[in-house]
């Protein structure tokens, strides 16, 4: 769960930087554009996606949970 939260925080930070950088952030030569892409790709991974919060919550509440894909 900590990793999921860290990825979400990183996405928020990079999104803010991307917005503050303005139009130059969209160019391929911009290092900001690369970081934006990288953090959003990482955020798509099933191990750090939003569904992780539901899974951890179900485990902590001792609810029936399908953990077969873990």
Residue 65 lies in a domain: no
Give the structural domain span for 22: 2-60
Question: Considering the domain boundaries, does residue 16 fall inside one?
Answer: yes
Structural domain includes residue 56:
yes
> What is the C-alpha to C-alpha distance for residues 41 and 24, in angstroms, rounded to an integer?
21
Task: Answer whether residue 11 is part of any domain.
Answer: yes
Q: Tell me what pLDDT residue 70 has.
A: 54
| Tens-level pLDDT at each residue, the chain (70 residues) | 888 889 999 999 999 999 999 999 999 899 999 999 999 998 888 888 878 888 888 999 999 988 776 5
In a domain, 8, yes or no: yes
For residue 45, tell me if it sits in a domain.
yes
Read off the DSSP letter of residue 45.
Answer: S
Domains identified in the chain, total number? 1
| Cβ partners under 8 Å of residue 20, min gap 6 | none
Give the global pTM.
0.74
Are 65 and 58 within 8 A, CB to CB?
Answer: yes
């Amino acid at each position: 769960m900590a990793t999921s939260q860290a990825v979400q925080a990183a996405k928020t930070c990079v999104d803010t930087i991307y917005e503050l950088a303005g139009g130059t952030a969209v160019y391929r030569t911009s290092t900001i554009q690369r970081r934006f892409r990288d953090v959003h790709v990482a955020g798509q991974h099933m191990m750090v996606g939003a569904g992780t919060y539901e899974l951890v919550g179900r485990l902590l509440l001792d609810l029936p949970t399908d953990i077969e894909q873990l």
